Amino acid sequence: MTLDAVSATTALLDDRYLLQERVGRGGMSTVYRAMDTRMERPVAIKMIHEDDRAAASADRAHTEKALLAAVDHRALVTLYDAQLIPGRPRYLVMEFVDGPTLARRLTSGPMRPRQVARFTRDLAEGLAVVHAAGIIHRDVKPSNIMLARDSLGGPWTAKLADFGIACEVGSPRMTSPGIVLGTFAYLAPELLRDAEPGTAGDIFGLGLVALEALTGSPAYPTNGTGRGAATARVMNPPAIPDRIHDDWRVLIERMTRLDPSERPTAAEVARSAETLMQVTRGVAAVRDAGDETAGAAAGRSRPRRRRLLGGAVGSGNAG
């Protein structure tokens, strides 16, 4: 069975997985929603493309399988199964997350600060598990963060997905010098200087994601990939608008420092975000920001903004 055949019709894959609809496509794979007919549960099938890049795609799929199998956390998409034998359709079977990506959610505008604190805490806890296993995600960005719906109507649960370019700390390069893997708008400055990837790069990316969720706009233009844009990124940390309250400013400034050795660990970020959850109940992190939901009634009364305690966020961080 070829990828084209699978794409053209609903099909039963390996007498087990009933492919239903395509939900995403990238350069090396296509993702389908499917039904695991044995376990009777929805799953996501990541089909590896069989084209002129098949060898590289398969190598990355093997790496992704090995890395995902080594970690387990509620903020990480779970790997269930894999079929990577050559000569047959190659795929990974993962948890299906019933909800939008964070990128899609942010098209409706900024989020409430408590929601941002919650997903920052959860993702940082997940990254702490990933980093403790000696793994670097390398592509922390809104489109790789899934928002799972709570079946009981509770808050969204954030899950980090797509370990397709993840690597082990200290692993040999898979690209030539000067070639950087990742998404330019969320890359740490040291990677633009051709430094070896490290766990601090994931922290930088998560800091940019949190800032974007608070403001509703990416810190760096998504189409700025030229030499001038790269130079500016290496020399200057992201601009944090004055309207961001002090507690958030302290955390994001630390997460996005130019020197990776000065950034907090994932565990430290999680503790700081937990503190922010407690001190931002009903408080806007962005002064005069819009409500969370796009199109909220203009006449809705809002609680009076107050300035948060500037030192609260530092309680869980190393000096």
- Listing DSSP states for 163-179 in one string gives -TT-EETTPPPSS-TT-
Fold held by 12-95: Phosphorylase Kinase; domain 1 (3.30.200)
pLDDT in tens, the chain (319 residues): 444 445 444 589 999 999 999 998 887 889 999 999 999 999 999 999 887 666 677 788 888 999 999 999 999 999 999 999 988 899 999 999 999 999 999 999 999 999 999 999 999 999 999 999 999 999 999 999 999 987 666 788 999 999 989 999 987 655 555 566 788 899 999 998 878 899 999 999 999 999 999 999 999 876 655 556 667 778 889 999 999 989 999 999 999 999 999 999 999 999 999 999 988 665 555 554 444 333 333 333 333 333 333 333 333 333 3
- CATH for 102-313? 1.10.510.10
- Residues forming CATH 1.10.510.10 domain(s) in the chain: 102-313
139 included as an active-site residue: yes
The residue among 198, 262, 190, 203 whose CA lies nearest residue 230 is 190
On whether 46 is known to bind a ligand per the annotation, the reply is yes
Question: What 3-state class would DSSP assign to 16?
Answer: coil
Contact (Cβ atoms closer than 8 angstroms) between residue 123 and residue 158: yes
Q: Could you give the residue range(s) of every CATH 3.30.200.20 domain in the chain?
A: 12-95
Helix (H) or strand (E) holding 135: strand 135-136
**Marked catalytic residue, from 36, 122, 139, 291:** 139
- pTM of the entire predicted model: 0.81
